[in-house]
Structure 1
Amino acid sequence: MNKSFALLLSMAFMLFSTATGTAQEQDSLSESAATALSAKIGELETRQSALERLAAHLPRISGYIQAGYEWSDDVSTFFIKRARLDLQGDISPKIDYRLQVEFAAPKIVDIYFRFRPMRALNVQIGQFKVPFTIENTHYVPLKFEFIEYSMAVARLMGFEDVSGIKATGRDLGAQLYGGFIHRDGYDILSYNIGIFNGEGINAKDRNKSKDLVARLMVRPFSALTLAGYGYWGETGERYAARQRYGGGICYDDGRWIARGEYISGTTGFFEEPAGRYGTFDSMGYYLMAGYWVTPEWLPALRFEQFEGVSGQSAARQTNYTAGVTYRPFKQLRCQLNYTYEQYGGPNPDRNVIKAMLTGIF
């Protein structure tokens, strides 16, 4: 009995030792696997952090395409209005850049750097929108309520300028800008002071003078903007005058939109071959109103008048435009405009219908 008991006790001890050893080995393997897994996770986190830092310095890519159809008393045509690729990025928390290219009529439209050390004083240099009028800078094509910009802005601020410049409202130069009295996400008082070549986009200056632009904007509350602006410049090798003055008011609370601006200007010219120098004055204004009936639908009306030569009825054009914008989702805008064009000169009045689709990416 004693021998049997001793044998059983010995076998039990061997089984216990084996089980204990196995458990210890398993614990050792588990600790090794956990250490390896932890190291792998740390490596992945380091790689992810490096990729995030790299991605933060890569440009953000976006763009849009605008195409449509126009019918009038003497025109029937499809058209491509804009095809833009936009790259924006940050070099540092206070320095950013932008490159925007137009493919419909190939050209660079925006290329600039901005240094933003403080809210009250910032610097922008390159090619960008001239800070003149509210419509030119604050209502870009993806926000604008109509298919065509107002005649006053187009003819006196470089879209189809009476001076002959065609520049989409942009120029090469530099500006200082900033705001004061910050309140709930906006500045009550803001300013822009810039110098430009005065020859339009992608063009060197053809004289030694620089064009000066100044704009002052006041926002008594977030939805209301009052602005005054001036432009003093000379174009071409003969320093032809190009001076512009104006003011405007805009109410935009995200639902109701009402805006009006007045612009006048003096433009110099030379008569060839006599070489006689002269100037003429122009003026124009517009009034518009719109209302987002739903988040998708915006009907809008606009009345505008432009005189290529002030005081001459033959140089006067008056437009009445009714339009609607339908935005079924963020990446698509559908616009339909009807305009009655009334001419003061010998040209017959016209009815113009335009439809345009904007695809955004």
Structure 2
Amino acid sequence: MKRILLSCILFLSIYVLKAQDTHLKNVVNTLKERITLEGYAQVGYTYDDAGEKAVNTFDIKRAILMARGKITDKWSCYFMYSFANTGKILEAYTEYKFMPQLTVRLGQFKTMYTIENPISPCYVELINCYSQAVNYLAGINGSDPLYGSNSGRDMGLLIYGDLFKKKLSYNLAVMNGQGINQKDKNHQKDIVGGMMFHPLDWLSVGGSFVKGKGCAVAASSINQEIAVGDNYTRNRWSAGATVKTKPLSLRTEYLAGKDGHIKSDGYYATASVHVLPKFDIIASYDYLNKDKAQDYKQSNYVAGVQWWFYPKCRLQAQYTYCDPHKGESSNLLQAQVQVRF
């Protein structure tokens, strides 16, 4: 009797363990199917002789982890975290795809202003990543103290999609206008919109705009009438085009903004010439005038190369000649390695 009882217990234990193992495998397989993890790091060297003291340093420019969760075939969520410098959440949102013509996104994400801002640093040709005008007007790197350093991101509600057999892409959003990881500091919301027309497989043309009121987070020497905590008119628009062919990729755009009574504008043209299957020559002209009345402008000229030594991984080297209208010119030499999984 004892032997029969022990045998039953043994068989029952084996059955339970097999059931648990099967359940665990199903859970693991489900997670593999529904959760995608990605990340990249950009590390390198910088020499910059601007100002009284030159910068000569190795640095970590970016270290990013991204996670995407597939809740259903139409419903997903996304999370992005930056480990470089001070760690912070860059993006956290959920979106639902009703149809190819309409997707709704809610949370924190890239502001869909300009062609360049929504592009990941993994694919932007410049080591400094974005042009002066995009950095300034989209609030990316803090070059506009009123707006602050927000990585070109904000919190809000976005709708976007493709129309007419993907010949036209559109986006329209209501955003806080305050930047990342903080609540709105006024009662006004920014309206952000854009359209891109794709008449040919290799050509896209379009524009974008931001209309709203900002709340100044710091004082600016360019716009001294606006104090910290003041609400001020902050409007932007842009128009540009992209060309993508086997031998050449080109992105060009004109941008303009108005902060209070101060008008600014900028322009850039960035080209990548594919001379070999994995080797590109990079050239860029980049112009920004922070105050058109005072002629507070600077032009940057960039030349460099990049080698894609492994899928999504590259080695870059670039020289930038910085020519301000007021003040002395300077030289910027950079090298960077990008690894991504």
Contact 1:133 1:227 in 2 (8 A): no
Q: What value does the CA root-mean-square deviation take over the aligned residues? A: 2.0
- The residue that corresponds to 1:271 in the other structure is none
1:213 aligns with 2:192: yes
Structure 2 counterpart of 1:218, one-letter code: F
CA shift for structure 1 position 234: 0.9
Displacement of 1:342 in angstroms is 0.4
- Distance in 2 (CA, whole Å) between partners of 1:264 and 1:340 is 23
- Indicate conservation of the 8 Å contact 1:156/1:265, yes or no: yes
Q: Matches of 1:164 and 1:83 in 2, distance apart? A: 24
2:267 to 285, 295, 320: 285
SS of 1:131's equivalent in the other structure is: coil
Matched, 1:120 2:101: yes
2:79 is aligned, of 99, 102, 112, to: 99
Residue in structure 1 matching 2:236, options 223, 241, 244: 244
Residues 177-198 of structure 1: CA deviation (Å, up to 9, x unaligned): 111112xxxx101110001111
Letter in 2 for 1:81: K
Q: What stretches of structure 2 of length at least 5 have no aligned partner?
A: 1-17, 216-228
What is the TM-score normalised by the length of structure 2?
0.84
Shift of 1:161: 4.7
Cα 1:54–1:229, aligned 2, differ >3 Å: closer, same or farther? closer
Whether contact under 8 Å (2:79, 2:91) holds in the other structure is yes
Question: Distance between the aligned counterparts of 2:180 and 2:89, measured in 1?
Answer: 8
Supply the distance in 1 between the matched residues of 2:135 and 2:249 (Cα, whole angstroms). Answer: 20
Match of 1:196 in 2: 175
Cα deviation code 1:120-155 (max 9, x no counterpart):
111011111111111111x31111111111011001
Q: Does 1:262 align with 2:254?
A: yes
Tell me, yes or no, if the aligned pair for 2:147 and 2:178 is still in contact at 8 Å: no
Provide the rounded CA distance (Å) in 1 between the counterparts of 2:257 and 2:108. Answer: 23
Q: TM-score, normalised by structure 1?
A: 0.80
Inter-CA distance 46–337: structure 2 relative to 1 (3 Å threshold): same
Identical counterparts, % of pairs: 33
Match of 2:117 among 100, 111, 136: 136
2:335 maps to 1:358: no
Distance 1:265 1:103 in 2: 31
2:12 alignment counterpart: none
Q: Secondary structure at the match of 1:152?
A: helix
State the distance in 2 between where 1:71 and 1:51 align. 47
Question: What does 1:72-87 correspond to in 2, within 5 Å?
Answer: 72-73=48-49, 74-87=54-67
What is the identity, as a one-letter code, of the residue corresponding to 1:231? V
2:164 corresponds in structure 1 to: 181
What is aligned with 1:312?
Answer: 294
Q: Could you tell me how far apart the structure 2 residues matched to 1:331 and 1:251 are?
A: 21
The count of aligned residue pairs is 303
After superposition, the Cα gap between the structure-2 partners of 1:230 and 1:331, relative to the gap in structure 1 and judged at 3 Å, is closer
In structure 1, the gaps of 5 or more residues are: 1-40, 269-278
The structure-2 alpha-carbon separation of the partners of 1:158 and 1:43, relative to structure 1 and needing over 3 Å to count, comes to closer
1:253 aligns with 2:245: yes
Report the 3-state secondary structure (helix = DSSP H, G, I; strand = E; otherwise coil) of the residue aligned with 2:149. Answer: coil
Cα deviation digits, residues 90-125 of structure 1 (max 9, x gap) = 000001111110011311001111100101111011
Q: What is the aligned counterpart of 1:53 among 12, 15, 30?
A: 30
Matched, 1:63 2:31: no
Give 2:213's aligned residue. 234
Could you say which residue in structure 2 is the equivalent of 1:170?
A: 153
- 1:201: Cα distance to partner? 0.7
